[in-house]
Amino acid sequence: MLTSGPYGLIFASFIPFYFDIPASTWFRIFGVRFSNKSFIYLAGLQLLLSSWKRSLLPGICGILACSLYRLNVFRIRRAKFPEFIASFFSRLSWPSMENPPTTPARNLAGNAPSYTTHQVERTYPPTVVPSAVVPSEDSVATLVSMGFDQNSARQALVHVGNEINAATNILLEVQSH
């Protein structure tokens, strides 16, 4: 009997996570070197072994399937769905990508921000540009506590309309280059 749930998909996602997402922080615990990705792997190991006789096979199959795809065994990356199937599912996709909803973004406290947003051009995902954004001091302080420069934190928050997660991503990208 196998465990129900998306074990195969979850463990398949560990392969691109391992190869494509760089570790940004390294630290030592009792002389053993860990990265910020180590805790994800430990959580995955706990999930894999949670009901080990039932979850081990789906987990290993997911890892094996994604490894075979990544290595392009049997030229699997060239396999395509027939056009009529792709067309059918593209019409069923929800929500429709033609007219994305334009709801205002929310800040961490859950309150609607005091600025307005508008779409600049039709790109996917839509580009949202804040107008007259003043970053909140709490957001700036949060980014500074993560080790970013205060001026860079303010600029990133202005650029993304005071969205702290998006600002963090921008600052990490700039830092990695």
- Cβ contact 124:98 at 8 Å: no
Integer Cα distance of 169 and 157 in angstroms = 11
pLDDT in tens, 40-73: 999 999 988 888 788 889 999 999 999 998 998 8
Integer Cα distance of 11 and 18 in angstroms = 11
Integer Cα distance of 74 and 153 in angstroms = 47
| Domain boundary assignment for the chain | 7-92, 116-176
- Mean pLDDT within 127-149: 78
CATH architecture entry for 116-176: Orthogonal Bundle (1.10)
Structure tokens at 99: 């007219």
Integer Cα distance of 107 and 40 in angstroms = 26
Say what the pLDDT of residue 41 is: 92
Region label for 30, one of left (φ > 0), alpha (ψ between -120 and 50) or beta (otherwise): left
Say what the pLDDT of residue 33 is: 93
Structure tokens at 25: 């922080």
pLDDT confidence bin for 132, thresholds 50/70/90 = low
- Mean pLDDT within 147-171: 88
Integer Cα distance of 155 and 134 in angstroms = 10
Q: Is the pLDDT of residue 97 over 50?
A: no
pTM, 2 dp: 0.45
pLDDT confidence bin for 7, thresholds 50/70/90 = confident
Q: Which residues pair with 35 in a beta bridge?
A: 26
pLDDT confidence bin for 86, thresholds 50/70/90 = confident
Rounded to the nearest angstrom, the gap between the alpha carbon of residue 119 and the centroid of all alpha carbons in its chain is 23
Say what the pLDDT of residue 126 is: 46
Higher local confidence (pLDDT), 129 or 38: 38
- Mean pLDDT within 9-17: 91
